[in-house]
A and B are shown apart, each in its own frame.
Chain A
Amino acid sequence: MTALRVERADVVVVGGGGAGLSAALAVAEAAAREDRRVPVVALVSKVYPMRSHTVAAEGGAAGVVGDDDSLEQHVADTLAGGAGLCEDDAVRFVVERAAGELYRLERWGLPWSRTDDGDVAVRRFGGMSRARTWFAADKTGFHLLHTLFQTSLRYSGVDGPVRRYDEHHVLDLVVDDAGGPDARVRGVVVHDQHRGEPLLIEAPAVVLATGGSARAWGTSTNAGICTGDGTAMALRAGVPLRDMEFLQFHPTGLPGSGILLTEAARGEGGVLLDADGRRYLADYGLGPETPVGAPVPRTMELGPRDRLSQAFWHADRDGRTIPTPDGGVVLLDLRHLGKERLAERLPLVTGLAKQFAGVDPATEPVPVRPTAHYTMGGIRTDARGATGVAGLFAAGECASTGLHGANRLGSNSLVETLVVGRAAGEAALAWSRAAGHPGADGGAAGAGAGVGPASADGEVVDRAAEIADRYLAMRGRGTEPPAAIRAELGRVLDADAGIYRDADGLRRALATVEDLRARYADVRVADTNPVLNTDWATTVELGATLLVAHATVAAALAREESRGAHQRLDFPDVDDVPRHSEVRLDAGGTIEVAHVPVGAEHDMRVGKRPITTPMSFSAERGAGS
């Protein structure tokens, strides 16, 4: 077995995006409030934290301020968007803390856009009944991430509580009794891409903040790193994935590349036109038509994203779109906003349209079409990010806290990364302390000192080494090119797991995904070098993406109703009782889908198993009903 470097931390945070940095900063701040031993948080990320996908968020982050708005109204809007699948406690938990987190970032220096009086400005966003979306021009995620990252540098000095492991790829969790009643996390197996060697970071608490998985689709707004790694790890560790079939399609992506033009473009007054220059949304239930330049909340262009994407699908079928090699497109018209306002409020969108579509939005409308965007479902957690596995937490896009339900409102997810990230960080530290962990700096075994196996539980080290070996052994083996598998997966999800689905398409998709997983067993990794082996790393990611895609398609086939972002042509009605789907892996590696009433088991401390009959899913056995 490969020799394994072992290091220790009080809390491991996997992911350096909004959620991961929030969690790490929460631990750092907890350290500042106490005079006890400074806890060590290991912040592990496969890319440098400031390259995380949070950097690409454009529009803004929702938080109630001002007298004409109320927390209750934000809760009500979120519940309405979620179409019955929100968990009430999670919605309240996030809404109550949203503005507080955004003010905290203000104090850390985030360059929020301002009113003339110097207050933080808010803009309108789809599905929100009031203007409550804080923004930094149209680069909100960029400024949010850089503010968090630069603030974290304060805490990442030699003696600081935050130890960064940049460009370290987490391969898997080490879990005792995975899937059983005493499941407990023991640490993470990591590959140090620079030194080219595996390592175990041993810790009693792990926060997964690995982001979404919408990169699986061929046309997607997501960065290359959004491959569902943490989601797959949690599933393998016995945590159910909840509501994976709810994948948000954003109505305004650039054709081909899928690059996002933020909803804020419509919030600022942009309108959508069909091939004849008509405001087609009015004909698909989003009217009445509003005057150009005077957007009305929840109407026309400011309707919820799922409804806008669905309207596109109908318009496309009705022959109202403009054909292109990338499929039909409609036009996002921003011309009436004028050059100046575009430069002030939407500089990124303007630049992206010019550069990647060759169109200046000040003079020409921009061609757009829907693109895969956001993973509403994910690792099942309670409102504070706790999973059913002791010591394991999840936050951000990889988690399903119950905030978004069947459809996320734009600008709710950035605040979720902040609020749940913080809560998960605090809970993880509390857990770690309660576990009586000797601590990273406890005893002779100081972290970072390259301590040997003797300093940790030998059995844990052995299991970690086995995991590492299994992944390292992929190098230099196999015959199936990963690029072909990846392309085929993207194609089939685009075709059969898109805005509208039906049983035939989903069965096809399921069969294809199963076939791709079989081919993946013999995947070819040509590069054998241990250092910065991106051939191997992206192939490891592909394995996670395939597993998550399998769970998604199975959940979609099992949900025989239309709700929120999940629309079935063969089941157009909404079930009377809203239920979550939960996907598990059984001992033999088979995917099982169960349905659980909303609210039934949201508190992770009670009842670890749903009282439902799970269905096994495979293409041969069909929809299971």
Chain B
Amino acid sequence: MSEADLPVEARTVRLEVARTSADGADAGRRDVFDVPYDDRTSVLDALQWVKDHADPTLTFRWSCKMAVCGSCGVMVNGRPVLGCETFVRGYRTSGLVVEPLAHAEVLRDLVVDTDTFLGKLAAVQPWLVPAGATRLPLVDAPAEDPAPDRGEDALRAHGPSSGSLQTPGELAAFKGFAECIDCMLCYAACPQLDPAPDFLGPAVVATARRWDEDSRDAGELDRADVLDTEFGAWPCIQVGACTQVCPKGVDPARALRDAQRVATETWEARSRRG
């Protein structure tokens, strides 16, 4: 009798999970579970099954279960994936080995450090730098427009009543880079994070390029100062693994290529500026 003919309750898959306790004592431990599954069981569902029915101490992150919040990245059989959109049915014969994302410090079981990544993200000023400002003050208040005249309307609108124009073409220029969900899968895939752990890395450079390419933004030279450093965009040797594993089609490899080009092109302008 083939597996597919078995009643759903009887179908199980072999799930091997890497465990690390919070004090790092038992790094390298592996636990194995036989997890029941059907066609719709995701890797995240399988982990949740273990937590609910076998070992409540198994620790992992998740939130949206719809591949948009970026919490649930893990390695499955050596490949970085989002657990919520990866289905167990594809592993019925091989079984699954689930490990924490590579190239990040493990805090506990499948949970890795995110703070280092967010520190790198903040370093490239991932916010809109308005034209005319080379360096932003730490804080500046948005100017309030006068409320628009709404004629007969008895209510009065509050707050700014206009924004910038941006054509669909200008939007398309950066939209792809704006799809990044900060899941860190590309970091797990990037071989350069072994020799250069401080490398800003694919997602952060993609986000820097997202703002650079935005027609409303004028922060390109400031960001180039950060990208044009030893651990900025330069550790990238164009392996392209980041783009391959990205679940959102961001193409960070292209962002890195562009960042290296911009760094070269703007070098003179930046050094003149001092």
In the bound complex, what is the Cα–Cα distance between A264 and B57 (angstroms)? 40
Q: Tell whether, in the assembled complex, residue B164 and residue A106 are in contact, meaning their CB atoms are under 8 Å apart.
A: yes
Q: Tell whether, in the assembled complex, residue A103 and residue B159 are in contact, meaning their CB atoms are under 8 Å apart.
A: yes
Taking CB atoms, residues of chain B closer than 8 Å to A620 are none
Q: How far is the CB of A192 from chain B (nearest CB, A)?
A: 12
Given the contacts A32-B139, A155-B139, A56 and B168 also touching, CB distance less than 8 Å: no
In the bound complex, what is the Cα–Cα distance between A72 and B115 (angstroms)? 46
Q: Tell whether, in the assembled complex, residue B168 and residue A114 are in contact, meaning their CB atoms are under 8 Å apart.
A: yes
**B182: CB under 8 A from chain A?**
yes
**B157: CB under 8 A from chain A?**
yes
In the bound complex, what is the Cα–Cα distance between A33 and B157 (angstroms)? 22
Q: Tell whether, in the assembled complex, residue B165 and residue A104 are in contact, meaning their CB atoms are under 8 Å apart.
A: no
Q: Which residue of B lies closest to A55 (CB)?
A: B69
Q: Which of A133-189 contact B (CB under 8 A)?
A: 139, 142-143, 146, 150-151, 153-157, 159-161, 166
**A456: CB under 8 A from chain B?**
no
Q: How far is the CB of A98 from chain B (nearest CB, A)?
A: 9
In the bound complex, what is the Cα–Cα distance between A119 and B130 (angstroms)? 19
Q: How far is the CB of B205 from chain A (nearest CB, A)?
A: 15
Given the contacts A534-B59, A535-B56, A194 and B153 also touching, CB distance less than 8 Å: no
Q: Tell whether, in the assembled complex, residue B56 and residue A96 are in contact, meaning their CB atoms are under 8 Å apart.
A: no
In the bound complex, what is the Cα–Cα distance between A507 and B153 (angstroms)? 48
Q: Which of A340-391 contact B (CB under 8 A)?
A: 348, 351-352, 355-356
Q: Determine which residue in A51, A72, A103, A166 has the highest number of CB atoms from chain B within 10 A of its CB, and name it.
A: A51
Taking CB atoms, residues of chain B closer than 8 Å to A166 are 114-115, 118
Given the contacts A109-B217, A114-B171, A526-B57, A71 and B157 also touching, CB distance less than 8 Å: yes
Taking CB atoms, residues of chain A closer than 8 Å to B70 are 50-51
In the bound complex, what is the Cα–Cα distance between A367 and B125 (angstroms)? 43
In the bound complex, what is the Cα–Cα distance between A351 and B247 (angstroms)? 11
**B78: CB under 8 A from chain A?**
no
**B52: CB under 8 A from chain A?**
yes
Taking CB atoms, residues of chain B closer than 8 Å to A112 are 166
**B29: CB under 8 A from chain A?**
no
Q: How far is the CB of B70 from chain A (nearest CB, A)?
A: 6
Taking CB atoms, residues of chain A closer than 8 Å to B161 are 99-100, 103
Q: Which of B31-86 contact A (CB under 8 A)?
A: 40, 51-53, 56-57, 59-71, 85
Given the contacts A48-B114, A100-B157, A70 and B40 also touching, CB distance less than 8 Å: no
Other-chain contact of B164, A52, A107, A355 (Cβ < 8 Å): A107
Q: Tell whether, in the assembled complex, residue A100 and residue B65 are in contact, meaning their CB atoms are under 8 Å apart.
A: no
Taking CB atoms, residues of chain A closer than 8 Å to B217 are 109
Q: Which of B130-185 contact A (CB under 8 A)?
A: 130, 136-142, 150, 152-168, 170-171, 174-175, 178-179, 181-182
In the bound complex, what is the Cα–Cα distance between A155 and B126 (angstroms)? 12
Taking CB atoms, residues of chain A closer than 8 Å to B223 are none
Q: Tell whether, in the assembled complex, residue A100 and residue B122 are in contact, meaning their CB atoms are under 8 Å apart.
A: no
- Interchain Cβ contacts within 8 Å, total number: 210
Taking CB atoms, residues of chain A closer than 8 Å to B126 are 150, 153
**A117: CB under 8 A from chain B?**
yes
Beta-carbon contacts of B84-104 to A below 8 Å, as 1s and 0s?
Answer: 010000000000000000000
**A504: CB under 8 A from chain B?**
no
Taking CB atoms, residues of chain A closer than 8 Å to B156 are 71, 96
**A611: CB under 8 A from chain B?**
no
**A527: CB under 8 A from chain B?**
yes
Other-chain contact of A153, B60, B122, B175 (Cβ < 8 Å): B122
In the bound complex, what is the Cα–Cα distance between A65 and B18 (angstroms)? 53
Q: Tell whether, in the assembled complex, residue B163 and residue A120 are in contact, meaning their CB atoms are under 8 Å apart.
A: yes
In the bound complex, what is the Cα–Cα distance between A154 and B114 (angstroms)? 18
Q: How far is the CB of A90 from chain B (nearest CB, A)?
A: 13
Beta-carbon contacts of A68-85 to B below 8 Å, as 1s and 0s?
Answer: 001110010000000000
**A108: CB under 8 A from chain B?**
yes
Q: Tell whether, in the assembled complex, residue B157 and residue A117 are in contact, meaning their CB atoms are under 8 Å apart.
A: no
Taking CB atoms, residues of chain A closer than 8 Å to B166 are 112, 114, 118
In the bound complex, what is the Cα–Cα distance between A151 and B139 (angstroms)? 11
Taking CB atoms, residues of chain A closer than 8 Å to B60 are 534
Q: Tell whether, in the assembled complex, residue B141 and residue A99 are in contact, meaning their CB atoms are under 8 Å apart.
A: no
Q: Which of B180-231 contact A (CB under 8 A)?
A: 181-182, 207, 211, 214, 216-217
**B127: CB under 8 A from chain A?**
yes
Q: Tell whether, in the assembled complex, residue A116 and residue B66 are in contact, meaning their CB atoms are under 8 Å apart.
A: no
Taking CB atoms, residues of chain B closer than 8 Å to A51 are 63-64, 69-71
**A257: CB under 8 A from chain B?**
yes
Taking CB atoms, residues of chain A closer than 8 Å to B245 are none
**B241: CB under 8 A from chain A?**
no
Taking CB atoms, residues of chain B closer than 8 Å to A351 are 67
Q: Tell whether, in the assembled complex, residue B138 and residue A159 are in contact, meaning their CB atoms are under 8 Å apart.
A: yes
Other-chain contact of A150, B51, B69, B127 (Cβ < 8 Å): B127
**B21: CB under 8 A from chain A?**
yes
In the bound complex, what is the Cα–Cα distance between A534 and B50 (angstroms)? 13
Taking CB atoms, residues of chain A closer than 8 Å to B122 are 153, 156-157
Q: Which residue of B lies closest to A46 (CB)?
A: B63
Other-chain contact of B171, A113, A160, A260, A532 (Cβ < 8 Å): A113
Q: Tell whether, in the assembled complex, residue B107 and residue A531 are in contact, meaning their CB atoms are under 8 Å apart.
A: yes
Q: Determine which residue in B108, B159, B171 has the highest number of CB atoms from chain A within 10 A of its CB, and name it.
A: B159
Taking CB atoms, residues of chain B closer than 8 Å to A146 are 178
Q: Determine which residue in A107, A151, A260, A483 has the highest number of CB atoms from chain B within 10 A of its CB, and name it.
A: A107
**A64: CB under 8 A from chain B?**
yes
Q: How far is the CB of B73 from chain A (nearest CB, A)?
A: 11
Q: Tell whether, in the assembled complex, residue A53 and residue B63 are in contact, meaning their CB atoms are under 8 Å apart.
A: yes
Taking CB atoms, residues of chain A closer than 8 Å to B10 are none
Q: Which residue of B lies closest to A31 (CB)?
A: B139
Q: How far is the CB of A54 from chain B (nearest CB, A)?
A: 10
Q: Which of A573-610 contact B (CB under 8 A)?
A: none
Q: Tell whether, in the assembled complex, residue B136 and residue A154 are in contact, meaning their CB atoms are under 8 Å apart.
A: yes
Q: Tell whether, in the assembled complex, residue A153 and residue B167 are in contact, meaning their CB atoms are under 8 Å apart.
A: no
In the bound complex, what is the Cα–Cα distance between A31 and B127 (angstroms)? 19
27 A-B pairs, CB-CB below 8 angstroms?
A: A29-B141, A31-B139, A48-B182, A50-B69, A51-B64, A52-B69, A55-B181, A64-B157, A71-B155, A72-B154, A103-B161, A104-B160, A107-B160, A111-B171, A111-B175, A114-B171, A116-B168, A117-B165, A139-B179, A153-B127, A154-B127, A155-B138, A157-B138, A194-B107, A224-B65, A352-B67, A529-B22
Extra contacts besides A50-B182, A51-B71, A257-B40 (19): CB < 8 Å = A31-B139, A53-B64, A72-B155, A99-B161, A101-B159, A107-B142, A108-B127, A109-B127, A111-B175, A111-B214, A116-B167, A139-B179, A150-B121, A161-B139, A224-B63, A224-B64, A256-B40, A257-B65, A351-B67
* A-to-B contact residues, CB < 8 Å: 28-29, 31-33, 47-48, 50-53, 55-56, 64, 70-72, 75, 92, 95-97, 99-101, 103-104, 106-109, 111-120, 139, 142-143, 146, 150-151, 153-157, 159-161, 166, 194, 196, 223-225, 256-257, 259-260, 348, 351-352, 355-356, 481, 483, 524-527, 529-535
The 7 closest A-B pairs by CB, nearest first: A100-B159, A106-B163, A32-B139, A118-B165, A531-B22, A483-B52, A109-B128
* B-to-A contact residues, CB < 8 Å: 21-22, 40, 51-53, 56-57, 59-71, 85, 107-108, 111, 114-115, 118, 121-122, 125-128, 130, 136-142, 150, 152-168, 170-171, 174-175, 178-179, 181-182, 207, 211, 214, 216-217
